[in-house]
Amino acid sequence: MASLLRPTMRLCFAAPSKRLLSTSSPAAASVFAPLARKPVQSAFVRDALPAMRVAPFHASARRPILPPLPQKIEGTVNQPAPVPDPVPAHGSYHWSFERVVAASLIPLTVAPFAAGSLNPVLDATLCSLLLIHSHIGFEAMIIDYFPAKRVPIVRRSLMWILKGFTLAVAVALYQFETNDVGLTEAIKRVWTA
């Protein structure tokens, strides 16, 4: 058993080369100084040292995957950032509406399954609130990740795509509710299948 562990132990506790100690920072030399007394015992460990030398002290340039978005500087350093006019529809009312929609989804999701009766009005309300909740969430992601000042065309395009998908899903849910079994009944059938 001890013979199986020796190569691994040699790899873990191998001494750094003299070149590493001479080219490294003084802090690195002080860390590796106690290990420098023990010679490297195998070719595998000696070949692994360049990789071990690069990894702890790696400081490469940052290379982003995509190029940066177009930048435009407005004003000077001493000018404050413009503060938009307060609009309650985009501020507190919008925030409150989002929270009411999210909170009302909880009882509307549980009620059809707990009560055992299927009400088309309750089902339609659940579908509507799910659609509004999803639309608000995707709209918030577009607003966060695609700023209007940096990529106005992309943001406008994504907003129109979102509106188109929301309308298509609304029509599909309406057709499913009126011409088929409805959302909650479909979930019940899938759950018990």
Annotated binding site for a ubiquinone: 145
Which residues in the chain land under pLDDT 50? 5-15, 20-21
**Which DSSP letter does residue 37 get?**
G
- Look at residue 159 in the predicted model and tell me its pLDDT: 97
126 contact partners, CB below 8 Å, separation of at least 6:
105, 108, 109, 112, 183, 184
On the 0-12 / 13-18 / 19+ scale of CB atoms within 10 A, 112 is: buried
Annotated binding site: 133, 145
- Look at residue 13 in the predicted model and tell me its pLDDT: 47
- Look at residue 81 in the predicted model and tell me its pLDDT: 77
Annotated binding site for heme b: 133
φ/ψ of residue 71, rounded to 5: -110, 140
Copy the structure tokens of residue 112.
Answer: 């059809």
| Cα dihedral 113, 114, 120, 121 in deg (nearest 10) | -130
Q: For the chain, which domains are there?
A: 92-192 (1.20.1300.10)
- Look at residue 9 in the predicted model and tell me its pLDDT: 46
- Look at residue 125 in the predicted model and tell me its pLDDT: 92
Copy the structure tokens of residue 157.
Answer: 């395009």
- Look at residue 134 in the predicted model and tell me its pLDDT: 97
What's the CA gap between 44 and 10, in Å, rounded? Answer: 10
